[in-house]
Structure 1
Amino acid sequence: MKLFVAFVSCLFCAASAAVTKLNWFQRAVGKVGDRKPDRPKGPAPADVSQGKQSVCDPVSWRFPDPPPEEAPRFPPDLELKVPPAAESVAVICGANSIRVEAKKDLPGIGKLVRPEAVTLGDCPATGEDEEAQVLVFESELHRCGSQLLMSEDSFTYAFTLHYNPSPLEGSPIIRTAGAAVRIGCRYQRKQVVSSASLKHNWMPFSATKASEESLHFSLRLMTDDWRSPRPSSQFQLGDVMRFEVAVKPFHHAPLRVMVDRCVATVVPNVDTVPRYTFLGHNGCLFDSRLTGSSSRFLQRSQDNKLQFELDSFRFQQDDRGVIYITCSLRATPAADATVDGASKACSFSNGWREASGRHGACACCDTHCGTGSPVPPARTRARWDQETAVGPVVVEEKRLRGGQLAQKSHNNGHRTNQAVEILPTWLS
C-alpha cells in the first residue's frame, strides 16, 4: 500500500515539472516573436516648407502663323460656261387637242427619269417611244388641269408638265430636282375657220357687223296666247307645250333663227337613254309624222323668232314624268338667209309643210337632208350655233275628277235616280 502511494506521488511530481517547463518555453518564444528588427539610423530630414511655385517671366512661345495663301491665277480669257437649258419638251397644238412630247432625259443630265414621275397636270403619259426615249401626252384642251386665259385678241390654254422625282430605291436621296414646265396653246379670237381653201371675197356690211356683236339665244315655254313666258313648267297629258326660239342681237344687223334638232331626255344630257328625237334633219318636226300628233311649227312672223307646238308626253318607264328639252339653235344674217334643205321649219299635216310656205324644202324630211343650195361665191354666209335646254318639265298623268252620274233604272215599275260615284283614277 505504501509502495503504491509513493508511485502516485512520483508520477504527480513529474507531471507538474513538465507543465512548468512548457509554460517557460512558450513565454520565451513569444518574446522573441514580438521583437522588431533593428533599422539603420540615418540623419534626420531637414525641415522643408511646401508652397505653390510662382512664374516670374511670361511664356514667350507661340504657335507659328500659317503661310499666306496665294491668289488664284486664272487665264486672262477665262469665261465660266453656263450650262444651256435642256430642250426636252415639244408641243403640238391642234384645233381642240394638245400633244406634248417629253424626253425621258428631262433634266438633260444623261439620266432617264421614270415615266410615272412625269405628268401633264394630273394626267399620266398616254404613250412612250422606246426607240427615241420620249414620253407622249395627248389630251383635249379643257382636260388635265388646263387653264383658259383670255386677252383682247387671243386666248390661251395653259398646261403644266410636272416632274416629281422620288428617292432612289433603298436610299433617302435623289439625284434630280423636281420641275414644273409651263406649256400653252394660243389661239386668235378673231379668225376665219373653214375646211375649204381661203378666198378673199367681199363680205357685206351686215355680215361684218353681225360678227362683232354678242348674240343671246333663248328657248322658252310660252303661255297659250304667246304673249309672255309661261310661269309654270307643269303639264298634264293632253296639254300642248308651246316653245319659242329667239335670238337677240345687241346691234342692228338683222338675224334669222332656226332649229336644227331637239331631243327629249329624263336628265339634262342628250347622250343618255331613254331619249326621243322629235325634231331633226335641220328643221323637220318628226313628232307629228311618227305619232300622228298635232305638233307643228307656227307661221313665222319675225326672222329672229320661231315658234312651235308640241303635244305633251312622258317616257313609259319613268314614273316621275320629268323631261328635259335640248335644242340646237342656229342664227344667220337675215340678208343671206334662204329656205332650203339645210334651213327650214317643217311640220307634217297631210304632207310636209314649211312655215314660210316654201314646202319644197321639206322634201328631204323622210330621207336625208344635205347642206342645201350652194352660196354664191361673192357672198360668205356667217352662222352662229348654240345648244340650249329647258327643264325640268313635269308632265303628270291625266286625272278624272270625282263626280256623280244619274243612272236611270226601274224598280217595281217606278223610276228612281241612283247616284253613281266615279272614283278618282289615273289614266295610264
Structure 2
Amino acid sequence: MALCLGSLMVFSSFALFWVRGEVSVDCGKSSVSVRWSEPQSLTDPWLLRLGDCPPSSVSLRPGGAEAVFHARFDDCSFRRLVTENEVVFENELSSEASSQSPSDFSCPIVCAYERPAEWNPPMYDPVTFHANGRGDLVFHMSFMNDDFSDVATSTTFFLGSLIPIAAVVEQQAHQPLVLLLEECVASASPDLSQDSDVYSIIANKGCLVDSKKANSRFLPRRSPSEIRLYLRAFKFSFSEEVYIHCKLVAWDPKDMDSGRKACQYDKQNERWELLDNPSESAICACCDTVCRARNRRRTRRAVAQSVVLGPLTIKD
C-alpha cells in the first residue's frame, strides 16, 4: 500500500490509497489492469482516462463508483523506457475537472520488468560510452511504426510515404543532455567510403536539408534525450537496398549554437527554423552556407556515435 505521490516501480501488482479514491494495478506480461474505486462518488468515473483510453467498464452504486481499465502496453499512449536492468512501462491515470468533480488529478501507473539478458532494440545494437561527469551513455536508433509507439516490424516503405525514425540516448548521471543528429546520409552500402554514392538527409551540423528538398520534418520533442523525424520516402537511383548513416551527438542543452542544433526548413515562411526554440532560429541561418560552432573548445563536451540503419526498401 502506498500514497499516490510520484512514480512507483512494480513487478506484479500494487494498490494505492489517495484523496481521490483507491487504485489497484495488476501488471501482466504485455498488458495491465487498473481498478479505481471511490466510496463517496466525488469523481465522475466516465471522465477517467488511462493515458488517452476511457474505462473498459464503469459501475455506479449508492455511495460509490468503480472504473476498470484493461490495456495493452502498445495502446493508451504507454511510454516504454529500457534501462540497464529493467523494461519499464509508464502512464497516468487522470481525470478532467467537471461540475461534479471541480479539480482534476493524475496518478502514475508504472509496471517494471527485469530486462532479458539478450534484449536489444531491433535494427541496432546499443553502444555504451563512459563520459566524464555524465556516467554511461547508451545510444539507440530505429525505424519506427507510424505513431512511434514501437519499433517497425517492416523496413519496406512506399514511394512518397513517411518513414518514421527515432533516436534516443540513455544516461545514468543527473546532468541532462540533448540528443542531436549532426549528419545523416543515405547510401547503398552499410559501409561508407570516399567513393560511395550518397543522398544527403541532414548536413551542415544539424540542418535537415531534406525538409527543403522534400517534406521530411522533425517532430516536437517528447524529451531532450530523444529526437524523432519523418523522412519522405523517395526512389534511390543507385540501389534497391538503402542504408541510413547518421552521426548522433549528446550535448549540453544550454549551449546550443550554429554548430550544435536541429534545424528544418519552414516552406510557408521560407526560412530555417530551430526545432527546440523557434525564437532563436537565427542560429539556423547558416544552413544554406557553412555552419560552424562559435567556440571550437566546446566540442569536447559532446559525445558522438555513428549509427547505421537498414537496409530499407522503397516500392512504387
TM-score by length of 2: 0.53
- 2 CA distance for matches of 1:264 and 1:252? 35
- 1 CA distance for matches of 2:292 and 2:176? 26
Residue 229 of structure 1 corresponds to 151
Question: Match for 1:304: what amino acid?
Answer: S
Residue 164 of structure 2 corresponds to 242
Residue 190 of structure 2 corresponds to 268
Deviation at 1:381, TM superposition (A): 5.8
On the 8 A contact 1:314/1:323 being kept in 2, the answer is no
Residue 309 of structure 1 corresponds to 230
Deviation at 1:387, TM superposition (A): 0.3
Question: Match for 1:243: what amino acid?
Answer: I
Q: Which has the higher helix share?
A: 1
Instruction: Determine what percentage of the aligned residue pairs are the same residue.
Output: 30
Structure 1: 5+ residue runs without aligned partners?
1-189, 191-206, 399-428
Structure 2: 5+ residue runs without aligned partners?
1-129
Deviation at 1:370, TM superposition (A): 1.1
Instruction: Mark the structure with the bigger radius of gyration.
Output: 1
Residue 284 of structure 2 corresponds to 362
**Aligned counterparts, 1:27-46, within 5 A:** none
- 2 CA distance for matches of 1:369 and 1:380? 14
Question: Match for 2:245: what amino acid?
Answer: T
Residue 220 of structure 1 corresponds to 142
On the 8 A contact 1:327/1:388 being kept in 2, the answer is yes
| 2:202 is equivalent to residue 279 of structure 1 | yes
Residue 341 of structure 1 corresponds to 258
Deviation at 1:240, TM superposition (A): 0.5
On the 8 A contact 2:205/2:292 being kept in 1, the answer is no
Aligned-partner SS, 1:253: coil
Question: Match for 1:263: what amino acid?
Answer: V
Question: Match for 1:323: what amino acid?
Answer: V
- 2 CA distance for matches of 1:366 and 1:345? 14
Of residues 133, 152, 159, the one that matches 1:209 is: 133
- 2 CA distance for matches of 1:236 and 1:274? 22
- 2 CA distance for matches of 1:323 and 1:245? 18
- 1 CA distance for matches of 2:217 and 2:154? 22
Residue 51 of structure 2 corresponds to none
On the 8 A contact 1:221/1:233 being kept in 2, the answer is yes
| 2:241 is equivalent to residue 322 of structure 1 | yes
Question: Match for 1:269: what amino acid?
Answer: D
- 1 CA distance for matches of 2:285 and 2:261? 11
**Aligned counterparts, 1:53-132, within 5 A:** none
Aligned-partner SS, 1:214: strand
Greater relative CO, 1 or 2 (CA 8 Å, sep 6+): 2
Deviations 1:57-99 (A, max 9, x none): xxxxxxxxxxxxxxxxxxxxxxxxxxxxxxxxxxxxxxxxxxx
- 2 CA distance for matches of 1:274 and 1:245? 24
Deviation at 1:208, TM superposition (A): 4.9
RMSD: 2.4
CA 1:322 to 1:369, structure 2 compared with 1: closer, same or farther past 3 Å? same
Deviation at 1:349, TM superposition (A): 2.2
Aligned-partner SS, 1:363: helix
Of residues 394, 398, 407, the one that matches 2:313 is: 394
